[in-house]
Structure 1
Amino acid sequence: LPASSGYVALPTPSVITGTFDGGMKRYDRKGSDGECQGQSETGEDEAVFILESGATIQNVIIGADQAEGIHCRGPCTVKNVWWADVCEDAITIKQTGSGDVSYIIGGGAFHAEDKIVQHNGAGTVQIKNFYANDFGKLYRSCGNCSKAYARHVILDNVAMIGGSSGVGINENFGDTATITNVCTNGKPSATNVCCRYEGTTPGNEPEKIGCGPSGNVCNYSTSSVKTC
């Protein structure tokens, strides 16, 4: 985790339009309703940052005292953002257009008991030059949201250390994952870099179909997964 240049505790979420550069300060929600509540389902009100459509956030460290890190209401760009200790989710993507693309470039996340990137909306999420350490899933396409969009994820140059699985996508919703230049320390295994689920409806749990390369759904080869 990079060294922080200062500390800011936000009483309410900071709403970003345009570009926000945090100057590598650490931000969280200490002393507010946005403090970490374990794996309780929290939402936008508990986020540290809310990005409006088209917004960019960069050079930020998100501290441990927060329930939700970043919520993107539309397509967003997240550059060189680091999570010291993920609570519920690090990033929630809520864009609604099938052509919408959000970018997570650089940065990394530590200690995500469940998910780092939660993709509830539509479109594509590109994750590049990212570091994930001690996590459940790096990326999960929502398997039981009220709208069953086709969601797409592109991973390139991502290091996964001490994770359960890389990406989880819903085959029946038309989701796809394209994965290149990734490495793991054996956790997740090369097979578990991509897992397929049967998406369902709100209130039900998606059923896992299997893990490993599968055509365009989990588009990668286990031999391309390097050791890091």
Structure 2
Amino acid sequence: MHSQTLAVLLSAGLVAGQTNTELQTNFPTAASSTGLFAARTIAAGETFDGEMIQWDRSPSTCSDQSEGGDKDAVFILEDGATLSNVVIGPDNGEGIHCKGQCTLNNVWWSKVCEDAATFLQDSGTSYVNGGGARGASDKVLQHNGGGTVAVKNFFASDIGKLYRSCGNCDTQNERHSTFTNIKVADGSSVVAGINVNFGDTTSITDSCILDGADCWLYTGNDSGDEPEKVGSGPDGSTCVVSGVKTEGC
């Protein structure tokens, strides 16, 4: 490893094989950058350490809010794969696609295009530990499959929604999400958008939400229509909030 690259990683508290998943509110400086012609697949059960390199697509696959699918992603994670210590650049449409349960450790998105990460597992839990995202006009984490997405120690800045349970997918599922020790800043953001008619639940615990909202509640559908927003805020069952600060954090 070059000495300059090592110095950058050491300043961020990271070297290959070491993963920082604590809450950080400063976006890291990438050790170097690379542009992929096609999405890179991480095999089932495999662990990939990106060594704090900025990974992106070349040429760019970002088309604002146009849905692009797997072909516009940077990484595709098969069931049980783990991706660690990665910076995702701005020139891609879909960021990361998790085809099954996955784990994202210390993954950062320098600017989100359509989505940062999409979760497609049928069941089980996918984990987002540490990292952060900024500059998302709409969603950061898109949950199209089933099961649970568990987010911990994550920082988001200047975004629309941190998480959205798909409101109009062809196949709908009961989805769950949890958020622990997150910070959302710099914009009128929503932590979680969920579908009350499909049994979705979310919980937000011990977190900081500045200039934003905790939950928006929707009636989802499988017809492709725009879902109807039917409420907001915690209700004690569908959306549970505990230990959340809105200032001084």
Q: TM-score, normalised by structure 1?
A: 0.93
Q: Deviations over 1:127-148 (max 9, x none)?
A: 0000000000000000111111
- Per-residue deviation at 1:220? 1.1
Name the structure 1 match of 2:100.
74
CA distance in 2, matches of 1:146, 1:181: 34
Matched with 2:156 is 132
The CA deviation at 1:30 is: 2.4
Unaligned segments of structure 1, at least 5 residues:
none
Match of 1:14 in 2: 40
Return the offset for 1:165: 1.1
Q: Residue 225 of structure 1: CA displacement?
A: 2.9
Aligned to 1:179: 204
Q: Choose 160-169 or 102-111, whichever is displaced more.
A: 160-169
Q: Deviations over 1:15-35 (max 9, x none)?
A: 00200000000010021xx52
* Counterparts of residues 53-92 of structure 1 (less than 5 Å): 53-92=79-118
Match of 2:14 in 1: none
- CA shift digits 1:58-93 (9 cap, x unpaired): 000001111110000000000000000000000000
Contact 1:133–1:163 (Cα < 8 Å) also in 2: no
Matches of 1:4 and 1:91, distance apart in 2: 19
Offset, 1:203: 2.0
| Unpaired runs of at least 5, structure 2 | 1-26
Deviation at 1:164, TM superposition (A): 2.4
| Match runs of 1:109-124 below 5 Å | 109-124=133-148
**Are 2:62 and 1:42 equivalent residues in the alignment?**
no
Return the letter of the residue paired with 1:47: A
Please tell me whether the aligned partners of residues 170 and 224 of structure 2 are also in contact (alpha carbons under 8 angstroms). no
Contact 1:137–1:163 at 8 Å: present in 2 too? no
Question: Aligned partners of 2:57, 2:244: CA distance in 1, in Å?
Answer: 40
- 186, 189, 207: which one pairs with 1:164? 189
Separation (CA, whole Å) in 2 of partners of 1:79 and 1:214: 31
Alpha-carbon distance in structure 2 between the residues aligned to 1:178 and 1:198: 18
Which structure is larger by alpha-carbon Rg, 1 or 2?
2
CA distance in 1, matches of 2:83, 2:104: 5
Match of 2:244 in 1: 224
Runs of 4+ with >3 A deviation: none
CA deviations on 1:177-199 (whole Å, 9 max, x unpaired) are 011011122x20xxx21111001
Counterparts of 1:12 and 1:202, CA distance in 2: 31
Aligned residue in 1 for 2:119: 93
Map of 1:3 onto structure 2? 29
Q: Which amino acid aligns with 1:27?
A: W
Q: Contact 1:167–1:194 (CA<8 Å) still a contact in 2?
A: yes
C-alpha displacement at 1:104, in angstroms?
Answer: 0.2
Give TM-score scaled by structure 2 length: 0.85
CA distance in 1, matches of 2:209, 2:58: 33
3-state DSSP class of the match of 1:172?
helix
Q: Could you say what the CA RMSD is over the residues aligned between the two structures, in angstroms?
A: 1.1
Instruction: Determine which structure has the larger strand proportion and give its number.
Output: 1
What is the SS of the residue equivalent to 1:215? coil
**8 Å contact kept, 2:204–2:244:** no
Matched residues in 2 for 1:61 and 1:35: separation? 17
Secondary structure of residue in 1 paired with 2:71: helix
